[in-house]
Amino acid sequence: MNGIESLLYGIGIAGVAFNAAAGVLDAGRKPFDLFGMVVVALAASLGGGSLRDVLLDRTVFWIADQSYLIASIAAGLATFALVRFVRLPSRLFLLPDAIGLALFTVSGTQAALAMGAPWLVASLMGVITGVFGGIVRDVLCNEIPLVFTGELYATASWAGALLLIGLIEAGVGAGWAALAAGALVLVIRLGAIRFKWRLPVFVARI
């Protein structure tokens, strides 16, 4: 495994851990038992990548390599232990969720490009990998998915995926392109949370 591959592998593991933590923090506001927590952590952290791999007909990443499964369960249990002893602000899960979104957008887009997907499909795979786990998490927690609530979310993911594809097309190295794309997702998403950046909401006429 060379440097770039190690970097992308680390990005994937870190994305799984952050999304598992966000899942537990989100589920923590509901009367879930320990196992329900673990299920939400697994769904939030493995859901997007699983859907991407099934659609692309690749071997599902956490079946090919158990490390992701272990990272998800470990991060979920660690977060669970933490929140039993420390009182955390209720919107804290937005931070690991944003980091997970950035990491998964990059790893999802890279995986689709590596399969030879055309650019529109590859960027959509980045978005699916980034947002699908969070949708499943919110549906399991019986909340309106974050992605639909107006603040820039999937838009941040799509912008990052398109930047990544553009930079790679322009000949920029995969490591720098991944860094720039992930940073763009994070900046847009955190800015959207802080400054309430939104897309125009549809005014229903019907």
Binding-site ranges for a copy of itself (CB under 8 A): 25, 27-37, 39, 42, 50, 54-57, 59-60, 62-63, 66, 69-70, 80, 83-84, 86-90, 92, 117-118, 120-121, 124, 139-140, 142, 144-145, 147-150, 153-155, 158, 198-206
Question: Among residues 4 and 34, whose Cβ is nearest to a copy of itself?
Answer: 34
Cβ neighbours, 10 Å, residue 164: 29
Type of residue found at 175: G
Q: From the CB of 142, what's the least distance to a copy of itself, in Å?
A: 7
Degrees, nearest 5: CA angle 10-153-200: 165
Q: From the CB of 176, what's the least distance to a copy of itself, in Å?
A: 27
What is the CA 172 to chain-centroid distance, rounded?
24
Q: From the CB of 106, what's the least distance to a copy of itself, in Å?
A: 19
Question: Among residues 88 and 114, whose Cβ is nearest to a copy of itself?
Answer: 88
Query: By C-alpha distance, which of 118, 68, 65, 104 is closest to 182?
Result: 104
Query: By C-alpha distance, which of 14, 25, 5 is closest to 101?
Result: 14
Q: From the CB of 145, what's the least distance to a copy of itself, in Å?
A: 8
Question: Among residues 170 and 201, whose Cβ is nearest to a copy of itself?
Answer: 201
CB burial of residue 129 (10 Å; 0-12, 13-18, 19+) = buried
Rounded CA-CA distance 112/108 in Å is 6
Q: From the CB of 173, what's the least distance to a copy of itself, in Å?
A: 27
Question: Among residues 148 and 176, whose Cβ is nearest to a copy of itself?
Answer: 148
Question: Among residues 31 and 171, whose Cβ is nearest to a copy of itself?
Answer: 31
Cβ neighbours, 10 Å, residue 40: 26
